[in-house]
């Protein structure tokens, strides 16, 4: 189960209060990191990689600070995230999971505008290629919480410039051939190295971050967006938001 802090963060995004959203995502991360799953320590080996969820919250907190114009706080969160992701390599014992943690560390470099983001992504690419022989079912691996969390953070950042749609589908994030396991996974880090920095700059310059995508419905007869007049709905946490601009919807 997720904590209430994530719902607070989503509500703050809807209200365009991005520093408050960053604070709430930080609390969600710290809360979940201490207990990523019932009965599971963050320092336990875990084939599902539940620590990905708090890392996702931590990365989104830094993104929110960037959008709020608080680059100083984004830098602090970036440094924290690099340290946490690196330390968790002592817990997760699968080589591909450790490579994903390096992908997260590279994300934190980019979010915090830290020196060496490109080198960090290249290290993640290398780690993925080196881990190829340890992966039995690569498509199943990429649907585990750890890998989904690293992908969903990117997708949320990309949603705003894409009018709320899924701008980075699963097929585009990964390589074209699942049989080439190393290349398939390494494509994640290469894609982010090429695209994530510009996406971050775009949302920061626009001063707008979209809410995460939840359950959606197009042309809903019961709701209308007071900001853009859309009737496309996004239900996420306990909020009913506009799919297009993340404004709270009103009943029709």
239 with 248: CB under 8 angstroms?
yes
The pLDDT score that the predictor gives to residue 236 is: 97
Indicate whether 2 pLDDT > 90: no
Domain extent, residue 233, equals 214-252
Radius of gyration of the chain from its Cα atoms, rounded to whole angstroms = 18
pLDDT in tens, 196-217: 999 999 999 999 999 999 999 9
- Please determine, for residue 223, whether its predicted confidence score (pLDDT) is greater than 80: yes
pLDDT number for residue 98: 98
Give the pLDDT confidence score for residue 18 in this predicted structure.
98
Note whether 171 and 232 are same-domain residues.
no
Q: Please check whether residues 166 and 206 belong to one and the same domain.
A: yes
What pLDDT shows up at residue 180? Answer: 96
Same domain for 74 and 39?
Answer: yes
> Does one domain contain both 194 and 218?
no
Based on the domain organization, do 34 and 96 belong to the same domain? Answer: yes
Question: What's the domain count of the chain?
Answer: 2
| Co-location of 106 and 119 in the same domain | yes
CB 79 within 8 A of CB 32: no
Does one domain contain both 218 and 192? no
* Domain identity same for 11 and 127: yes
More confident residue, 175 or 219: 219
Residue 124 sits in the same domain as residue 201 = yes
Over residues 104-130, the mean pLDDT reads: 98
Q: Are residues 167 and 72 in the same domain?
A: yes
Per residue in 34-87, pLDDT tens? 999 988 999 999 999 999 999 999 999 999 999 999 999 999 999 999 999 999
- Angle (CA) 140-236-167 rounded to 5° is 60
**242 and 197 housed in the same domain:** no
Q: What is the largest CA-CA distance in the chain?
A: 55
**How is 192-204 classified by DSSP, letter by letter?**
HHHHHHHHHHHHH
Indicate whether this model's pTM tops 0.85: yes
Q: Which residues contact 136 (CB under 8 A, 6 or more apart)?
A: none
**CA 227, CA 212: separation in Å to the nearest integer?**
18
Residues 47 and 110 in one domain: yes
């Amino acid at each position: 189960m997720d904590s209430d802090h994530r719902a607070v963060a989503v509500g703050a995004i809807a209200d365009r209060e991005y520093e408050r959203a960053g604070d709430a995502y930080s609390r969600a991360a710290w809360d979940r990191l201490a207990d990523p799953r019932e009965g599971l320590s963050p320092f336990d080996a875990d084939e599902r990689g539940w620590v990905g969820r708090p890392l996702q919250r931590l990365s989104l907190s830094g993104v929110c600070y960037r959008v709020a114009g608080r680059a100083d706080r984004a830098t602090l969160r970036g440094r924290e995230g690099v340290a946490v992701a690196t330390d968790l390599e002592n817990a997760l014992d699968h080589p591909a999971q450790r490579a994903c943690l390096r992908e997260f560390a590279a994300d934190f470099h980019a979010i915090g505008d830290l020196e060496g983001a490109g080198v960090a992504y290249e290290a993640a690419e290398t780690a993925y290629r080196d881990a190829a022989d340890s992966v039995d079912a690569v498509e199943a691996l990429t649907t585990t919480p750890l890998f989904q969390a690293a992908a969903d953070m990117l997708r949320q950042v990309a949603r705003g410039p894409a009018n709320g749609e899924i701008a980075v589908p699963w097929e585009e994030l990964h390589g074209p051939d699942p049989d080439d396991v190393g290349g398939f996974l390494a494509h994640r880090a290469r894609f982010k190295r090429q695209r994530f920095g510009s996406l971050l700059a775009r949302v920061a310059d626009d001063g707008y971050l979209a809410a995460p995508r939840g359950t959606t419905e197009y042309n809903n007869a019961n709701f209308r967006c007071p900001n853009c007049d859309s009737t496309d709905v996004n239900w996420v946490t306990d909020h009913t938001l506009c799919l297009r601009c993340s404004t709270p919807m009103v009943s029709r």
